[in-house]
Amino acid sequence: MPRRAAAAKERAADHGSNEQPGAAPAAITINPATNDLSLNPPDILDESINVTIPKGVKCGNVNLVPAASIAPFIDFINPPGGFGPITGEQERTLTFRVRFHGIPCKPEPQVFTGTLDVVCDGRVIAKKDVKITVPACPGTELVYAAKFICGEQPACGCECTSVLPGRYATEINIHNLGIKEVAIQKRFIPVVLAGALVGREPRVVAPRAEDKIILPPQTATMDDCCRIAELLFGGEPTSPMPITIGFLEITASGPVAVTAVYTSAGLDSAGVSIKVEQIAPRRAA
């Protein structure tokens, strides 16, 4: 055998080549071939990855090694020592178990790309593409939706009204019990505006007025029908105020106590009733 051909054959044997005279190398396959993961901080994901080594490929040892960009997401790869020796006499499928975990979130989503490399005796012989997205941290804002009903519903003989004839008032309190200031954003969404049924299904209504305030520690403020009317109508309404019903949406940068006080009476001011309701928060989307 010529010296050059003998040397090439010897190098192929040393490095686990699957080259054969006159034939294309067989492909090393990875299943699943790619990963597109979304991992929140507490998430743990176990995955089995099958690496198929075709006949003719020789390796003293085969390992699965993460690229530096995705290594922080991996707890372990089993077996830690890999597989070997691979004699090349027949096709082999090697199963690696990989455990992924999340990392701390940030205000904006984080995206990491890299590979899991199939390493044969120190050489990378195949790659599995990996993309990991860490969603943004959940918002810390809290939202409170308080109902308001203000004004007078006359005994008009109307075929359909939203409330019975009477006089109605609402007062909504916001109390910062904490030791840090809280930013308050308020949106006023009327479904009945000065007697007009602007939000009766199938119609929907967007906020008609907005307001905001910084609430210092251990202080309180309130919105009543007079303030609601001023914001919705741009000034004081006629007296008595036409019936106006809707929601006050309060978005707070921290926890506060929101309490709504509802008062109602007959048109002759008889039968006065009062109700106090604590408004529970929801986490802002």
pLDDT band per the 50, 70, 90 thresholds, residue 140? confident
* Residue with token string 């109602």: 264
Query: Taking 70 as the threshold, does the pLDDT of residue 25 lie above it?
Result: no
CA triple 236-241-246, angle to 5 deg: 95
Percent of the chain at pLDDT > 90 equals: 78
For residues 86 and 51, what is the distance between their CA atoms, to the nearest angstrom?
Answer: 12
pLDDT tens by residue, 60-71: 999 999 999 999
pLDDT tens by residue, 80-125: 999 999 999 999 999 999 999 999 998 789 999 999 999 999 999 9
User: Residue 285's pLDDT is what?
Assistant: 63
User: Residue 12's pLDDT is what?
Assistant: 42
- Long-range CB pairs of 13-20 (<8 Å, 24+ gap) are 13/58, 15/121, 15/123, 16/57, 16/58, 16/59, 16/60, 16/86, 16/88, 16/120, 16/121, 16/123, 16/125, 17/57, 17/58, 18/54, 18/55, 18/56, 18/57, 18/88, 19/56, 20/56
Label residues 118-154 b or e (16+ Cβ within 10 Å = b).
Answer: bbbbeeebbebebebebeeeeeebbbbebebbbbbbb
C-alpha closest to that of 242 among 184, 158, 178, 172: 158
The region of weakest confidence among 38-52, 76-90, 148-162, 257-271 is: 148-162
Query: Taking 80 as the threshold, does the pLDDT of residue 135 lie above it?
Result: yes
Label residues 61-94 b or e (16+ Cβ within 10 Å = b).
Answer: ebbbebeeebeebeeebeeeebbeebebeeebeb
**Where does 15-164 have alpha helices with state H?**
none
pLDDT band per the 50, 70, 90 thresholds, residue 156? confident
Query: Taking 70 as the threshold, does the pLDDT of residue 14 lie above it?
Result: no
Residue 8, H or E segment:
helix 3-14
pTM flag (> 0.75)? no
Q: What are the structural domains of the chain?
A: 27-134 (2.60.40.10), 142-283 (2.60.290.11)
For residues 187 and 230, what is the distance between their CA atoms, to the nearest angstrom?
Answer: 13
The residue among 99 and 12 whose pLDDT is bigger is: 99
96 contacts 78 by C-beta, under 8 angstroms: yes
Average pLDDT for residues 177-189, to the nearest whole number? Answer: 95
pLDDT band per the 50, 70, 90 thresholds, residue 136? confident
What is the chain's mean pLDDT, rounded?
A: 89
